[in-house]
Amino acid sequence: MSYTLPIHFAPLQGYTDATYRRAHAHIFGGIDTYYTPFVRMEHGEIRRKDIRDTNREYNLGVHLIPQLIASKPDKLKQIMSFFIENRYKDININLGCPFPMLVKRHNGAGMLPYPEEVKNLLTTIIENYPQIRFSIKLRLGWENTNECLTLLPLLNTLPLTHIILHPRLGKQQYKGEVNLSGFENFYNECDKPLLYNGDLHTIEDIQTVTERFPKLAGLMIGRGLLSNPALAWEYQQGEKLPLKEIIEKVRLLHTEVYNHYKEQLEGGEKQLLMKMKVFWEYLLPDSNHKAKKTIHKATKLTDYWIAINNLFSSYK
């Protein structure tokens, strides 16, 4: 079997929480590193759900790197204090989030047009926490692809463990094609271990990227793994998992996630239903459309389970 790159599971708000990460690692595997959705300050405090999601007890059996998002050094330091208290040694810094509400405050990809702000943030964090290993996740830019290239000389001088680059502009959100030429320009001048992230849905997609960029240090996959949780395993094995086995594993994944949410959530049936509908948003996109639609229309758990059983029965 040919050499395969490490697969990193991208953080997606609302999808890849501790419950999902632990269940995925247990049932599907194939992942070198999972990342938490970004931890941020809200009304002067770290959000409660972020504190819970990074709790080590909820992430047993998972190699986890927490991610932070901040535009100001003071907010950054508060988040870092929390990570250090929880004994994390590897931290990822988000410079890629495209959500407008955060971008307008120069968070995530909204910081990329302001190289001095990026320099201030990164030098502050690295100089103040020499005991921590840092990586960054970014996009080509917010407005244009020159923004990442402007930052690259700075990034090359910093002691980063790796850089993860998503080859879209922030203003694109997740629309349009990835810009492989823009990625290549960064790739050619980057001195740090570089990971590719963006639109990897099949083994063939992965092969296309790894053949074009043979010096990659790894791959980060998000929506592709939510659609096919076996994708990392398939890539490593060099073969596709039979559909029957995927469906059986998805059934196990669903059961584990459902049972944990049922035990953990305090909002009753309505909250549990909402969480489980999110679980199905990307999963098995080629499955029975009518059954998937019924899942999302369910207003009671009894209706939800009828729809789930119908979906799984359609594969028999």
> Which CATH number do you get for residue 68?
3.20.20.70
Give the whole-number percent of the chain exceeding pLDDT 90: 88
How many whole angstroms from its chain centre is CA 210?
20
The pairing of beta strand 90-95 with beta strand 67-68? parallel
pLDDT attached to residue 288: 81
Last residue of a domain, one of 237, 268, 298: 237
Residue 108 scores a pLDDT above 70:
yes
The answer to whether residue 254 sits within a structural domain is yes
Q: According to the model, what pLDDT value does residue 232 have?
A: 98
Q: How many domains is the chain built from?
A: 2
In a domain, 92, yes or no: yes
Verify that 253 and 117 share a domain, yes or no: no
Residues 148 and 257 in one domain: no
Residues 154, 282: one domain? Answer: no
pLDDT of residue 236: 94
* Pick from 197, 20, 179, 170: nearest CA to 95: 170
Integer CA distances (angstroms), 279 to 30, 165, 169, 309, in order: 20, 26, 27, 15
233 and 249 in a single domain? The answer is no
Query: What pLDDT was estimated at residue 8?
Result: 98
Cβ neighbours of residue 254 closer than 8 Å, sequence gap 6 or more: 279, 308
- Together in a domain, 122 and 43: yes
Same domain (yes/no): 247, 228: no
The answer to whether residue 11 is domain-embedded is yes
CA 127 to chain centre: 26
Q: Are residues 89 and 174 in the same domain?
A: yes
Name the CA dihedral angle for 278, 282, 284, 288, rounded to a multiple of 10 degrees.
70
User: Is 53 contained in some domain?
Assistant: yes
Is pLDDT above 50 for 81?
A: yes
Cα–chain center distance at 248: 24
Euclidean distance between CA atoms 214 and 226, whole angstroms: 25
The answer to whether residue 3 scores a pLDDT higher than 80 is no
Residues 58 and 204 in one domain: yes
Q: Quick one: pLDDT at residue 2?
A: 61
pLDDT at 1: 45
- In the block, tokens 């049936």 appear at 269
307 and 188 in a common domain: no
pLDDT at 266: 82
Q: What is the pLDDT of residue 258?
A: 97
One domain for residues 48 and 180? yes
Contact indicator for 235, 300 with CB cutoff of 8 Å:
no
In this structure, which amino acid lies at residue 159? Answer: P
Q: Which of 38, 117, 138 is nearest to 82 (CA)?
A: 38
In whole angstroms, give the CA distance from residue 253 to residue 164: 28
- Among residues 237, 259, 276, the one where a domain terminates is 237
**What pTM was estimated for this model as a whole?**
0.95
- Are residues 175 and 203 both part of a single domain? yes
**Hey, which bits of 260-303 come out as E strands?**
none
**pLDDT (tens digit, 9 = 90+) per residue, 117-171?**
999 999 999 999 999 999 999 999 999 999 999 999 999 999 999 999 999 999 9
Both tokens of 77, joined, read 């330091």
Domain that residue 298 falls in: 243-313
**Distance in angstroms between the alpha carbons of the first and the last residue of the chain:** 32
Mean pLDDT over each residue of the chain, to the nearest integer:
94
Cα 284 to Cα 124, 227, 228, 272, 288: the distances in Å are 43, 5, 6, 20, 9
Distance from CA of residue 87 to its chain's centroid?
21
- List pLDDT tens digits, range 223-281: 999 999 999 999 999 999 999 999 999 999 999 999 999 998 888 899 999 999 999 99
Judge if 36 and 60 occupy the same domain: yes
Average pLDDT for residues 192-217, to the nearest whole number? Answer: 97
Using a pLDDT cut of 70, give the percent of the chain over it: 99
Helix 301-313 with 243-264: angle, nearest 10 deg: 170
Give Dmax over CA atoms of the chain in angstroms.
58
Q: Is 2 a domain residue?
A: no
State which of 237, 254, 280 marks the end of a domain.
Answer: 237
- If one compares 287 and 15, the residue with the highest pLDDT of the two is 15
* Number of C-beta neighbours around residue 244 at 10 A: 10
Q: Is the pLDDT score of 285 beyond 60?
A: yes
Establish if 1 belongs to a structural domain.
no
